[in-house]
Structure 1
Amino acid sequence: MTQKIDPSLNRRKLRLALRRARERASLSQREAAEQIEWSQSKLIRVETGTVGVSVVDLRALLNLYSVSDPGEVQALEEAARGSKGSSWWSRYHEVLSPQFAQYLGYEGAASALHTYHPIVVPGHLQTRSYAEALLGPRDLDQESFGKIVDLRMERQQRMFDQEEGPACTFVLDESAVRRQIGGKQVLKEQLDHLIELGSRPRVSVRVLPFEAGAHYSTLGSFVLLSFPDDDDLLYLEHAAGSMTGGEDLQLLARYQECFQVITNLALDEAQSADLISRVQQDLGVR
């Protein structure tokens, strides 16, 4: 199923192209803003992808940066026209933190996603029943509860049910596939879902078994995103959420190393599917 290009992806395309064009022109953000009589904050918002840009404003920037190739100009003008409007997750804004909303924009543009979850099945892979059971103990009103679950389901559909998308590697601790969130029947359905998703061409589901012993891990879940045209990004999953990329290369490298060590210790895809099947059998539920 083909999806309309999300405005956040067009803003990202413009962000990267305009920043690089400015750097090639040897202009600072302040210098560029002054020459086209913008506030520096406006240029910063454009280069961070937090706002769209009109075709008129785009042409002023391209002229300043001496970008004249007809094909490149046309592609960027199309991106500018598509940079306005709301992203798909905007209808869930009441239950999204600004950090996570920004992260979703990056996730939609990633070429690869690597994530480790030590406690529960991650939202990317959850069934509706599992998500509802996991959210049950939280003090949420019915509307917020429903929107969070719907957000997870739509995010999953957009990631896995399109022809194109990131290559995904999910490493789950064995405790995550054994913890009976929602009871035995809900867990069995969730494990069925893991096996089905793990059988798809660009999805790898691997389990870090108890037998792996001590390992270079973290206190919580994390996601590493890779891009063909930008720096890698680290998203740490906690109450507030936090992202880092090229501005903290040491932290990014530490988590990249951590994921590599965890992956080396994890079972491969076939062994992981076998372990998940054994957990299902232990549940004694048909």
Structure 2
Amino acid sequence: MSASEYLVDDLRRTRELLGLTQEAWGDRIHFSAKHVGAVERGERPALPDYLAAVDRAFGTAFVKFYRMFVKRELVPVWYRPFIEQEGQASLLGVYHPLLVPGILQTEAYAQAVLTGYRFQPDTVDDMLATRLGRQEILHRRPDPCQLVAVLDEGVLHRRVGDADVMRDQLKALMAACDRPHVRVQVVPFEAGAYVGMDGALAIATVDGRSVGFLEGHLEGRVVESPDAVTDLESVWEAIRDYALPSNQSLELIMRAVEKWT
């Protein structure tokens, strides 16, 4: 049994030991009975926001179990050093030329991306849970991670899923722009060719030390040596030089929403 399967079983066992129906359990944690049932049947991933609600209501430690076992289990070995740093980051910079960065993806958009990658159907749900679970760093209290996300304007117009998925994703980007600790910037078409078009990157800063990550077709590469990180930070700053300020980027996103309405 995998850690994620054990987690779901333990959630169900805990509810039954407390003598609660799915409806009563949902009332206590402020989630619908439909949501509770979907989690227990494995149709919907048990994400940190759900687990945190359970922990608050019943004094359990499901979030801790998720972080220690489930999250690590679903991450490729070569990606784990960066994910561990990302989970503790005080500042995270992410750039993607083709997609909305995973840290800001909606569930439906992420599902469409993973399905498009043609992963085995039985692995997509677990991968989705991992991707969405990483977003908890933006909701930490009292110190959410500061995020700067840069994307190419083409991302706003590349269909991922259907029009509803795109509209909801762009609206989620707009909502992210309202958070004081999140900045979203767009590199406009008018920039032409620019540094960074050849691939996505991320830089996580923890306790004054930065670790980078470069995406690849088969596997990514973690960048840890100080000299290499310095070079990657130079690339990151060069990309941001081409990006519009936050307010102009928001205007671009708002206009793109109209296309998908």
Query: 3-state DSSP class of the match of 2:193?
Result: coil
Determine whether 1:271 maps to 2:248: yes
Aligned equivalent of 1:31: none
> TM-score normalized by structure 1?
0.64
Q: Once structures 1 and 2 are overlaid, which stretch shifts more, 173-182 or 139-148?
A: 139-148
Q: 1:260 aligns with which of 237, 248, 257?
A: 237
Aligned equivalent of 1:160: 138
Residue-by-residue CA offset, 1:144-187 (whole Å, 9 max, x unaligned): 1101111122211x122222122110000011121110021110
Change in 2 beyond 3 A, CA 1:244/1:138: closer
Change in 2 beyond 3 A, CA 1:204/1:89: farther
Q: Identity percentage over the alignment?
A: 28
Cα contact 2:74–2:130 (8 A) shared by 1:
no
After the TM superposition, which residues 1-286 of structure 1 pair with which residues of structure 2 at under 5 Å, given as runs? 88=67, 90-93=69-72, 95-156=74-135, 158-163=136-141, 164-229=143-208, 231-238=209-216, 239-245=218-224, 247-249=225-227, 251-283=228-260, 285=261
Cα contact 1:89–1:151 (8 A) shared by 2:
no
Change in 2 beyond 3 A, CA 1:87/1:146: closer
Residue-by-residue CA offset, 1:188-226 (whole Å, 9 max, x unaligned): 000000011121011001100011122222521000112
1:268 is displaced (CA, Å) by: 1.1
Partners of 1:110 and 1:136 lie apart in 2 by 29
Query: 3-state DSSP class of the match of 1:214?
Result: coil
Cα contact 1:94–1:144 (8 A) shared by 2:
no
Cα contact 2:146–2:182 (8 A) shared by 1:
yes
Gaps of 5+ in 2: 1-63
Residue-by-residue CA offset, 1:223-268 (whole Å, 9 max, x unaligned): 0112334x311111223121122x251x322221111122122111
1:139 is displaced (CA, Å) by: 3.4
> TM-score normalized by structure 2?
0.70
Change in 2 beyond 3 A, CA 1:266/1:147: same
Cα contact 2:147–2:182 (8 A) shared by 1:
yes
Residue-by-residue CA offset, 1:59-107 (whole Å, 9 max, x unaligned): xxxxxxxxxxxxxxxxxxxxxxxxxx96616325554211222221111
Cα contact 1:92–1:147 (8 A) shared by 2:
no
Q: Once structures 1 and 2 are overlaid, which stretch shifts more, 131-140 or 169-178?
A: 131-140
Change in 2 beyond 3 A, CA 1:87/1:186: closer
Partners of 1:274 and 1:235 lie apart in 2 by 29
Partners of 2:168 and 2:131 lie apart in 1 by 17
Query: 3-state DSSP class of the match of 2:116?
Result: coil
Gaps of 5+ in 1: 1-84
Aligned residues: 196
After TM superposition, which residue ranges in structure 1, 4 or more long, deviate above 6 angstroms?
none
Query: 3-state DSSP class of the match of 1:232?
Result: strand
Q: Once structures 1 and 2 are overlaid, which stretch shifts more, 268-277 or 158-167?
A: 158-167
Partners of 1:89 and 1:118 lie apart in 2 by 32
Instruction: Work out which of the two has the higher radius of gyration on C-alpha atoms and give 1 or 2.
Output: 1
Cα contact 1:216–1:261 (8 A) shared by 2:
yes
Partners of 2:99 and 2:68 lie apart in 1 by 23
